[in-house]
Structure 1
Amino acid sequence: MARTDAVRHTPWPLPRPPQREELEALFRREGLVPRWWSNGPGERYAVHSHPYHKVLYCYRGAIRFGLAPDGPVFDLGPGDRLDLPPGTPHWALVGPEGVTCVEAPRG
């Protein structure tokens, strides 16, 4: 199991939302191949983990990630980034307007 203190939430630094091309360029700079996905309002992901380091940006809407079982909660809005080390148990809840995210595995 991953250490929850290794999870990193990075807020978007600019006063405007990101453009698609900006987020894709950030992934390319790290040598990552982005994959886009969307979910409707209120959709949930049960507790799960990944065998890889997950790099994720929220593009539009909002999503809440929580570390299981009772770890910290991270609210992501447009441009915010979440890094989840391999094996980190987490859940997610999509905000009331839905969400579009882009993510990539590292390693």
Structure 2
Amino acid sequence: MTGPELLADLVAAGLPRERAGQASTSAWSNGPGDRYGLHAHAYDKVLVATSGSITFELPDGGTAVTLEPHGRLDLPAGMRHAALVGPAGVACLELHLPAGSLAALRPGRETVRPSEA
């Protein structure tokens, strides 16, 4: 998946085009066992794993989510999260949107889309 493909997917799910025009994308990777401490962002973030795996702890929801290739996690601004990279490392595509953008997506849409096999 590419940044434009991810953005098109979000627009199809109800993201207003003016919000999509304010998005920025980046790609990153980490080695096995790397950790990110508990933190939050002032912007909405959408993550898609492109290879490997990463487990996000979401303490405010009392859950953990593991992303594998094609798995997606939508993090609204202010949602605290920590992460642990899986044994094969991870590569992700990341999209930043203005705070509140994810709320525009169609009601009933899952925050987490399970990985596709």
Pairwise TM-score range, normalised by the shorter structure: 0.7 to 0.9
Which 4+ stretches in 1 moved above 4 angstroms?
Answer: none
| RCO higher in structure (CA 8 A, sep ≥6) | 1
Matches within 5 A, 1:54-93: 54-68=45-59, 71-93=62-84
- Is the 1:60–1:99 contact (alpha carbons within 8 Å) kept by the matching residues of 2? yes
SS in 2 for 1:78: coil
Name the residue aligned to 1:49: 40
Q: What secondary structure, in the 3-state scheme, does the structure 1 residue paired with 2:2 have?
A: helix
**For residue 24 of structure 1, what is the aligned residue in structure 2?**
3
Displacement of 1:106? 1.1
Q: SS of the counterpart of 1:34?
A: strand
Q: Following the alignment from structure 1 to structure 2, what is the Cα–Cα distance between the partners of residues 69 and 85?
A: 12
Unaligned runs of 5+ in 1: 1-21
Q: Structure 1 residues 44, 28: closer, same or farther in 2, change over 3 A? A: same
Check conservation: 1:27, 1:33, Cα contact below 8 A: no
Counting aligned pairs with the same residue, the percent is: 43
Equivalent residue in structure 1 for 2:95, among 91, 104, 107: 104
TM-score normalized by the length of structure 1: 0.73
Give the 3-state SS of the residue equivalent to 1:103 in structure 2: strand
Give the TM-score of the pair, scaled to structure 2: 0.68
- State the AA in 2 paired with 1:99: V
Q: CA RMSD in A?
A: 1.6
How many matched pairs?
A: 86
Structure 2, unmatched stretches of 5+, are: 12-19, 99-117
